[in-house]
Each structure stands twice: as structure tokens, then as C-alpha cells.
A and B are shown apart, each in its own frame.
Chain A
Amino acid sequence: MDYLERVKKVHGEGGYGSQGYKYDWKIEEAKKNILRTHTTAVSARMLYKLAQGKFKPVKYFSIDRVFRNETLDATHLAEFHQIEGVVADYDLTLGDLIGVLHQFFSKLGIKRLRFKPAYNPYTEPSMEVFSYHEGLKKWVEVGNSGVFRPEMLRPMGLPEDVSVIAWGLSLERPTMIKYGIDNIRDLIGHKVDLQMVYDNPLCRLDKETKQ
């Protein structure tokens, strides 16, 4: 049974230990081309590619553009960037995900993390990542993460004991917080002030984290 058939089956009837989503999976719907709303869509293609050969553990990342057809305002544009990290290996745990998140965020100078149960259709367990913002004196969300669901991984052909943990965050939001920018159009797009670009100092995250 090829990939398409396996996906159709797990969605409609279930499989791999799942009840399935119990709806009529339609090829016409699946064929619709859209501008990706998150980079996880492409991570899924990469994982499928990985599953076609003999599985070896990998760590992938991407920093790329995504598109959302939503109401635009001071902090929302139709296009922005997402950062995504993926680790695929045998028997990874939620503890491993928490560990990776601590390692990743500490590189950005963020050391205090708290995790909140969340929901994504393609991860279970899912966790929202919060960090304590010293300036605002409150916990703010800095990312989203989770363990990919079997209904997503198994039809690809990945071995049963392979776990894939992943996390993501937007690029613009933490940048705006760091530089105190209120309007996202000051950061990306043609309305950016070139003088701001000329005047901007080096971004030395490691210098800040030493303080």
C-alpha cells in the first residue's frame, strides 16, 4: 500500500493503534496547493524522505518563511519566519525534548523555562514553552513543541520505536521583544528604515548571556 493509501486509511479508519480521525479523507482537498502555514509541513516531507532509506538518527533545523491569510495588524503580517528543530532517534522521551529546549534557549540567553501542556493536531504530548521576561516581570510564551504522533510517522515507514521530537518558534516575535520594536513592519518588508539597518550594532547574544 503506498504512502497516500496509508495516510487515507489512518485518517478515515485508524491504524497503528489509533482510532483514526473518522472522516472522509478526500484527494481533492489534499491536492490543493497552499503557501505553507508552518515549516512543519516541510519537516514532514524530510522525515518521509528519511524513512525511505535505512533509518539513521538525525537532527534537522530550518529557519524559513511561512504564510498566513489572517487579519493584519501591528504585530501580524501575511508572511513571517519560523525556526524549527527536529530530532529523530530511537526511544526519545519527553525528558529529552525538555533537555533540548533548555540547551537551545540557553543559547539565546533564556535560562528560566516552564512547560505547559498544549494541543497540536500532529504532536502528542505537546508543550508550550514559557520563559520569564525580567523586563515585563511575567512568563511569556517563547515556543511550541511536541512529540510527533504515530498517525503521522508510521505511514511514512519510520520504525515503531523511533520517536521524533520537535519544537518551533517565530523569528519576528522574539526579535521585536529584544529590540523593543512595536510594529512588525519596522522589521521586515519594504517599509523598514534603512537608517535602522545602517545603525544596528552586532547581535552578540553570547555577550548578553554572560551578564
Chain B
Amino acid sequence: MPTIGVQRDLLFEALGQTYTDDEFADLCFDYGIELDEVTSEKLMVAKEQGEDKAAGADEAVIYKIDVPANRQDLLCLEGLARALNVFRGKFKPPHYRKVVPDDGARQVLHIKAETAGVRPFAVAAVLRNVTFTQTNYDSFIELQERLHHNICRKRKFVAIGVHDLDTLKGPFSYEALPPEQIKFKPLNQTKEFTAVELMQLYKTDTHLKPYLSLIEDKPVYPVIYDKNRVVLSMPPIINGEHSRISMKTRNIFIESTALDLHKAKIVLDTLVCMFSQYCARPFEVEAVDVVQPDGTSVQYPLLPYRTEVVTAELANKKIGINVTAEKLVDMLKQMSLGAKETEEGKVEVEIPPTRPDILHWCDVVEDAAIAYGYNNIQKVAPKTSTVGEQFPLNKLTDLLRGGIAQAGFTEVLTFALCSRDDVATYLNKEIAKVPAAHIANPKTLDFQVARTTLMPGIFKTINCNKKMPLPIKVFEISDVVFKDSRKDVGTKNERHVCAVYYDKSPGFEVIHGLLDRIMQLLEIPPSDNNDGYQLRAADDPTFFAGRCAEVIALGESVGMIGVVHPSVLEKFELQMPCAVLEMNIEVFL
């Protein structure tokens, strides 16, 4: 969930009202956002770098607010205040207008075919006669960063560049050239660099380094030029110094290049809807002709207004309330949606360009429920009549764990993920022969594989509990994971029971006794036939030679019982001998 920091006093100014922290937290709660933290620049610096570094830092109160991941419009103070003001009935949502200047006066961006291999899509728009103060300029820059970080997936899907239109001359062209051919003075530099040199330069720049890999290995890099071959930007890395904007910029050219056109449209629409607030003609955005490689032209931004038709009956049925169409219209308006009743008693809902999160009427229903107030909805018990039942394997597990505990063993709950060594070398086995599911991206050694046996977890538990009086008798009944090509996911879980007796002497007879008791509980008699169980001597490197057997039950080999080999004890740092029983209980279902 994205978190944004806004200055409390600026927010209250935009809301036209002050609140206590609790009152504001309640407003957030009702709307569906969360006041996560009340802090200040000074407090944040003190927390990260120490009290002394914080001296002199800004003490203005900052609200850290969590917003839902699907609401790009709430990522800035402007959008947040706008949404909350409409929610509180303070004003109506603005209508975002696209103005298309005449041919010749319109800005044009040509997309060249070569971009197709590296970053195919581009959109653009112009904000005319903008007046920024320092705070809303900062907000404009911050929104771009937040969009980059969230929906743009760290600039991978979409990258935004904003430019001072008065320093440039259209038409613009979006091209892709070999890096040696791209040369310009990037932001904050005093001389020109080729793109090759920039890739080197930015390898040590902590801010830009993460984005280099997005284009580094491509034969051509994206670059945007104006008519005079001034470089606007080399997306997604850096803008040119020439067209850099400042608080004083009046006319802003916004370009956005992308791997995902749908996301680029949303990003552009969000940026212009939010900041056209500061245009001389508020909420008016100037269109740009974006000419595709095939010659067709699209005028961006699209600023789509879409209609969904719902009925009060539908909303009532889905939420469990009883409102009229008229009331529903009011509720939806509170959520910044346009709404009006039609003659047939339906409600036509107008979805503005700031709400691309509305995909289906269920999204409209949620907004209606929020306006009604979730906590005002009457609770009812579902009239669904069903008969409950436990999952058979879990029922068996619960019964067995009770039985084994009664035999004096203590249950443990260990990790399903472990190291390769835990299931192989430490058990004197070869990893190549173990049918384990390997994790491709383990953060640490502790999760290289999913366990194929419960033994490592139990041995580690005993190791961490060596101070306990002897004997230590522990067990676990839980899943292990095996590779299985017959399954659609390539693996299967198998429910195992594993019991360990750890004492001055290995206690094989105790573990054998436990096995006999488990079989008695399962009503499986000792027998040579397929309806009983027996032990069959076996050789297994995890166990002491001559003190190891397979457990054969109902005609199958279901597990092993034996005294653990000293070399295994050593690997798990256990000083005393132990005996183990491990078997698959699924055959007993």
C-alpha cells in the first residue's frame, strides 16, 4: 500500500477546515485511507540519522497517509484534498477538459518505428499558463516520483518527463538510436555526454543506477528531440538540462514513454488532472498530436469519461441496504462519480478520468457502500445452511497428535523451508538424488528448498533446547514437499509424522514402542499381510548400520525407523544419540 507524506497544515488549508489527529484519522477511515503516522521532517531525520543531525530541520507536522494501490489520484495532496472535499460535500468534482488547438498551433510528437524494439509507446500533453508556488511545484515533482514508484513499477512500464515548453520548439520526435549517437547535457551537468558515457557515469549514482538496466543492453536507446535536435530526455533515465522546469515555468510539455500503453494513459491522465488545477484556465489540458509510426495520429491526453448503468435495486441487493435511485445518485456524487437518474429509474454513472480503477459495476457498488458508510450497514447472518466437516487428513492428524502427546511426546512446529544441506549432506544423502522443490530466489540459505523430511526441523529444535532435561521427546505431524511431475504444479505435499527420542542412549525401543502404539491407535495389526504392518531391515546413510528399518504398512513402504548416524548428529550439533521414526500418514486415511 503506497504511503504519501503531506504537510498537515497545507492539507487542512485545502480542506478548508482543521481537525484533531483523531478526527482526521476517522475521516480517513470512513473514506478508505489510513492515517498511518503523524511526524515531521525533524522527527524523521532524528529517527534515521540521530538527534544532532535533526537540529534545524523543519518541524511542520507531516501526515503519513496510506492510500489504496489502485488510486493514483490519491498520491498527491491535490488529489487527496479534492477527493475528501467532494466526499464531505464541500464542492463538486471538476470537469476535466481537453482543448485541441487548431492545426499548426497544436504540438506534435512523432514516434519513430525504431522505438518498437526498446520502448514502443509514447503519450504527451501540455499544461498552459501554469502558476506554481514552491509547495505545489514540489508536489508536482513528488507525484511523478510516486507514480514512477508505484504504477510505473520503478519506471519499467512507464517513465514521465516534464519540460519547459518555452525553451523548446516542436514538432517533437521520439526516436531510438545507438547510444554513441546520443549526445546531450543531462540534468544537473555542465557539459555534454554521450549515452555510453552516461551509462558509466550513473553507475555510481544511487538514485539513477537502478534504472540503467532497463535500456543498457539494448542496441538502441530511446531519446526525444525537438525540432532543433535539442534532447528533451533519454527515457527512462534522465531529462536534458536544456528544458528543465522550475517554479517559474509557465508552459509545461509532458511526455511519457512506456512498455504498457494502458498504464501510460493512466499516468498521463492522472498527472494532468491533478495539476491542471494550477493552469490559468483550471482543469483544462491542451492536447498533443502523437503520430504513430504508421502515420495515424492520436490526440492525448484521452481524459475519458465513461458511463456505467446501475440500478438502486442492484446496489441494494449487493450491499444489503435500501436506498432510492435519488439517494444513490447523491451517494455516488460524494465519491467523485457523476450520476443521474434516467426515466426508467436507472442510474447513469459517469466515470471520470481520475477513476481508472472502476472496471465493473462492482466498483461502483463499493463506492456506493463507502458513501453509505460501511459501519451503517445492518449486519445479517447468511441464511446459507450447510453441514460442517473437517478435512479428513487434518482430522486424522488432530487425532494422532493427541495420541502421540499422550505417549509423552511434545509437539513442535518447524519451518517448511530449509537449506539444501539440511535435506541432503547433513543427512548423508546427495542433493541430486533428493526429489526436492528448489527455490529459485532464496533470500538466505535458510530457504533454498522445501523440506522433504521433518527431521532437520526437529533436530534444530533439539539443538536450540539442549538445556531441557533429558530425555527430550518431540514430534511433528506436518507436510513435506516432493517433486511430482504428475501434478499440475509439479510437486505434491505429503503429511508425515516424525518423532525423535534424544537421550544418553538412543532409545530405539522407545521409538519402536511409539510406532506400535500409533499402529494400535490406527487399528493396524502387526502382520506379514497387506492388512498389517511390519519392519524390514534396511540400509540408509542417515541411520546407524544395523539399527535401521523400513516401516511397511498396508503393503507399502511408508517410512523409516532407526538410530541416527553419529555423523548426522554432528552436522546438527547434537551431543546425545537419538532415534527417529518418520512416516507418511496419508496411507492410513
Contacts and interface: CB of A to CB of B under 8 A. Distances in A.
A61 to B, nearest CB: 9
A99 B379 contact: yes
A192 B411 CA distance: 11
A17 interface: yes
Interface string B241-267: 000000000000000000010110000
Interface string B370-404: 10001101111111111010000000000000000
B115 to A, nearest CB: 18
A3 interface: no
Interface in A111-154: 114-119, 121, 124-127, 147, 149-151
A42 to B, nearest CB: 11
B379 A102 contact: yes
Interface stretch (B160-168, B270-278, B440-448): B440-448
Interface of B: 1, 29-32, 34, 68-71, 260, 262-263, 317-321, 359-363, 365-366, 369-370, 374-375, 377-386, 388, 410-417, 437, 439, 441, 443, 446-447, 450, 457-458, 460-461, 463-465, 468, 472, 474, 479, 489-491
A100 B381 contact: yes
Q: Name the residue among B321, B378, B464, B491 with the largest chain A CB count within 10 angstroms.
A: B464
B569 to A, nearest CB: 16
A57 interface: yes
Contact of A98 (B263, B377, B461, B472): B377
A49 B318 CA distance: 24
Given A99-B379, A124-B366, A59 B388 contact: yes
Interface of A: 14, 16-23, 33, 35, 57-59, 65, 67, 69, 72, 77-79, 87, 89, 91-96, 98-100, 102-103, 114-119, 121, 124-127, 147, 149-151, 163, 165, 188-195, 197-198
A33 B491 contact: yes
Nearest to B368: A125
B359 A20 contact: yes
A12 to B, nearest CB: 10
B319 A94 contact: yes
A189 B362 CA distance: 41
Contact of B410 (A18, A98, A127, A197): A197
The 10 closest A-B pairs by CB, nearest first: A95-B320, A117-B32, A93-B320, A119-B68, A190-B460, A125-B366, A22-B262, A99-B379, A18-B360, A115-B374
Contacts of A149: 360, 362
B262 A23 contact: yes
Contact of A78 (B70, B365, B417, B458): B417
Given A23-B263, A35-B417, A188-B415, 8 more contacts: A23-B260, A33-B491, A57-B385, A65-B479, A149-B360, A189-B415, A194-B474, A198-B410
Contacts of B382: 87, 89, 92, 96, 99-100, 165
14 contacts: A57-B384, A65-B416, A67-B417, A69-B441, A78-B415, A89-B384, A92-B382, A100-B381, A116-B34, A119-B32, A190-B460, A194-B410, A195-B465, A197-B412
A150 B415 contact: no
A92 B31 CA distance: 23
Contacts of A150: 360, 362
A191 B446 CA distance: 14
Contacts of A79: 415-417
A65 B415 CA distance: 10
Nearest to A161: B317
Nearest to A89: B384
A125 B411 CA distance: 40
A115 B375 contact: yes
A165 B380 CA distance: 13
Contacts of B260: 23
B320 A190 contact: no
A109 B8 CA distance: 37
A93 B370 contact: no
A17 to B, nearest CB: 5
A124 B362 contact: yes
A19 B386 contact: no
A197 B462 CA distance: 13
Nearest to A149: B362
Contact of A117 (B317, B370, B383, B412): B370
A58 B505 CA distance: 52
Nearest to B441: A69
Nearest to A32: B440
B447 A190 contact: no
Contacts of A115: 374-375
Contacts of B410: 194, 197-198
Contacts of B489: 33
Nearest to B366: A125
Contacts of B443: 69, 72, 78
A205 B115 CA distance: 64
A165 B318 CA distance: 11
A151 B262 contact: no
B262 A126 contact: no
A95 B362 contact: no
Nearest to A198: B410
Contacts of A190: 412, 414-415, 457-458, 460-461, 463-464
Contacts of B68: 118-119
A18 to B, nearest CB: 4
Contacts of B379: 95, 98-99, 102
B386 A117 contact: no
Contacts of A127: 374
Nearest to B456: A190
B318 A93 contact: yes
A195 B415 contact: no
Contact of B32 (A16, A21, A116): A116
B32 A114 contact: no
Contact of B414 (A57, A189, A197): A189
Contacts of B463: 190
A59 B390 CA distance: 12
Contacts of B468: 194-195
Contacts of A188: 413, 415
Contact of B464 (A18, A33, A95, A191): A191
Contacts of B416: 65, 67, 79
A94 B317 CA distance: 9
B386 A118 contact: no
A116 B105 CA distance: 49
Contact of B413 (A93, A94, A192): A192
A33 to B, nearest CB: 6
